[in-house]
Amino acid sequence: MNLTFFIKSKTVILDKYTIKDVPGSSGRLDVISRCVLSAILGRESFEKEVQIWVFLDRYGTYIFNPEFFNYETFPKNELLFTDYFVRVLRKRENIEDLHSNPLKSVNHSEIDLIESIKHFQKLKYNLYLLREQSKDFFNELSSIKEKEKIVFIIGSQEDEYLNSNEILALQIPTISLGSQSYLASSVIRLLKLYILAL
């Protein structure tokens, strides 16, 4: 099975970034960092079947595919990961710094969310949009698990884009984990638990 997560943020901005206050100084890049770690880290290794695409309005798209990272050197806690990711986002030209950055293999693209969705639709992936007040995920679980290629589009701290005309026009099936609101990183962990482990 190929399992991919899409998450978008328009708030991330690094002009005043400091590691001493990641949430307050980065436009909530900490939310994105938790999502990446939740997606690709397993208990003692990477989730080989999983990748996550991060769409940042000001910095482009970053594709985290575990195949291109070294698990031993990969930053597994949120603070370290965020600091290394900031260096990537700022595109520092210091060759030594880039060489030693464990995230140096992250793939950068200018493809946006809508283009990516259309691309994956053409590749015959099964896409699902996570939205409260939609079809119950657990009622759809059996049929979802039968799919070989899946993309889940997850909301982050601002979900307006999930209701945009552009998204709605793509007619992506919507599912819900229930009436309780979850953090985006928790949604990812729950989806992995039910799709991959059960």
Please, what are the averages of pLDDT over each run of 10 residues along the chain (198 residues)? 94 94 95 97 93 96 96 96 94 67 94 96 96 89 94 78 83 90 92 87
- Tokens 């769409």 found at: 55
Architecture of the domain whose range is 1-198:
3-Layer(aba) Sandwich (3.40)
Instruction: State residue 136's pLDDT score.
Output: 93
- Tokens standing for 138? 């657990």
Q: Is the dihedral of CA 159, 165, 166, 170 positive or negative?
A: positive
Instruction: State residue 168's pLDDT score.
Output: 85
Instruction: State residue 163's pLDDT score.
Output: 75
Instruction: State residue 131's pLDDT score.
Output: 86
Interacting residues of 153 by C-beta distance below 8 A, sequence separation 6+: 5, 6, 7, 113, 117, 127, 128, 129, 130, 162, 172
Instruction: State residue 50's pLDDT score.
Output: 97
CA distance 116 to 121: 8
- Tokens standing for 189? 């962990």
- Tokens 């950068």 found at: 108
Question: What are the distances in angstroms from CA 35 to CA 30, 54, 123, 164, 171?
Answer: 9, 9, 24, 22, 25
pTM metric for this prediction: 0.94
- Tokens 């701290």 found at: 157
Instruction: State residue 15's pLDDT score.
Output: 93
